[in-house]
Homo-oligomer: A and B are copies of this chain.
Amino acid sequence: MTDPIELNLDGNAFPDRTERADAAANRALILTTAERLFRERGVENVCMAEIAEVAGVGKGTLYRRFANKGELCLALMDSQLAEFQDSMLGRFQSLTQQGTPFLEQLAQFLESLVEFTEVHSPLLLEVARAGIVHMDARLNVPHFWQYMTVRALLRSAARNDELVADLDLDYFGEALLAPLQVDYFRFQRYVRNYSTARIGMGLRSMVKLLAA
Binding site for B on A (CB under 8 A): 125, 128-129, 131-133, 140, 164, 166-168, 170-172, 174-175, 178-179, 181, 183-184, 187-188, 191-192, 194, 198-199, 201-203, 205-206, 209-210
Contact = CB atoms under 8 A, between A and B. Distances in A.
Contact of A132 (B129, B202, B203): B129
B179 A175 contact: yes
Copies in the complex: 2
A183 B131 contact: yes
A187 B171 CA distance: 12
Contact of A167 (B188, B205, B210): B205
Contacts of A128: 132, 183
Nearest to A188: B174
Top 10 closest pairs, chain A to chain B, by CB: A171-B202, A178-B178, A178-B179, A209-B209, A175-B179, A129-B132, A168-B202, A178-B184, A132-B183, A181-B184
